[in-house]
A = this chain, B = another copy of it.
Amino acid sequence: MRSPPKILAFDVFGTVVDWHGSIVRELQRLAPQVDGDAFALAWREGYQPAMQRVRSGELGWTRIDDLHRLILEGLLPRFGLSHLSPAEREHLNRVWHRLDPWPDVLAGLSRLKARYLITPLSNGNIGLLAQMAKRAGLPWDCILSAEVFRAYKPDPATYLGVAQVFDVSPSKVMLCAAHHDDLQAAAACGLRTAYIERPLEFGAAHMKDVSPRPGNELHARDLMDLAGQLGA
């Protein structure tokens, strides 16, 4: 490896936490008759188009909590959940604050934290990320979010913002993510990249291809493997 990074910035949805499994479990409790797998996938499918409305300027700055709620309102009739009260809708929307980490995450982050400064770099809002970390015990050194930079990934302001916050060159920051497009955008800004395999991101019925691609500096099975590769 080149000279080691100082800051590890983590994508969160899919990389650190299992949004699909967590939403399926929530639906199972709330409405067992609903197809939780389809519901979770549909909610997440609305995510990029919703952020695009912000990126394009059609919507002013809007937090992910509010974008998730917008998408949810469209889903409820499709899944026979129109009877949910406003309070129930709000509680369901907050499931994104209650996502469970993948099994390797707490131990992996603890090892990495002993040697590096670890922070999320997520499109999730600060409050969402802080509540998620508190509930799950994610030991972040601080919480960086699109909300801090008022720009959504893959806007360069987010990747370069991490380096600026810590007053280091982009080459001292490594983005760790389960998504090649995120990593590619970070690399274009001069950040280092580590791909994390999350074959179950979309559920066991929709296995993801996690084979290595040449563009990434590191390729790790999970965060324990990453800690080993980074000498932590």
Task: Verify B126–A148 contact, CB threshold 8 A.
Answer: yes
Contact of A130 among B117, B129, B134 (CB under 8 A): B117
| Residue contact B129 to A133, C-beta cutoff 8 Å | no
**Contacting pair A134 B141 (CB below 8 A):** yes
Q: How far is the CB of A37 from chain B (nearest CB, A)?
A: 29
CB < 8 Å neighbour of A117 from B65, B125, B131, B141: B131
Q: Are A166 and B117 in contact (CB under 8 A)?
A: no
Is A142 positioned at the interface, with any CB of B under 8 Å from its CB?
yes
Q: Is A167 an interface residue (CB 8 A)?
A: yes
Tell me the number of copies of this protein: 2
Q: How far is the CB of A109 from chain B (nearest CB, A)?
A: 13
Contact A126 B165 (CB under 8 A): yes
A65-B167, A142-B129 known; A134 vs B148 contact (CB < 8 Å): no
A119 CB-CB contact with B under 8 Å: yes
A127 within 8 A of B: yes
Cβ 8 A contact of A127, one of B127, B131, B143, B165: B165
CB atoms of A142 and B166 under 8 A apart: no
Q: Is the CB of B141 within 8 A of A130?
A: yes
Bound: A134/B112 CA distance, A:
13
Nearest-neighbour CB distance to chain B for A104, whole angstroms, equals 22
Residues in B with CB closer than 8 Å to A127 are 165-167
Contacts of A166 in B (CB 8 A): 127, 130-131
Q: How far is the CA of A144 from the CA of B142 in the complex (A)?
A: 9
Closest chain-B Cβ to A122's Cβ sits at a distance in Å of: 12
Instruction: Report A124 CB to chain B, min CB distance, Å.
Output: 12
- Provide the A161-203 mask, 1 if CB < 8 A to any CB of B, else 0: 0000111000000000000000000000000000000000000
Distance (whole angstroms) from the CB of A1 to the closest CB of chain B? 22
* Contact B130–A142 (Cβ < 8 Å): yes
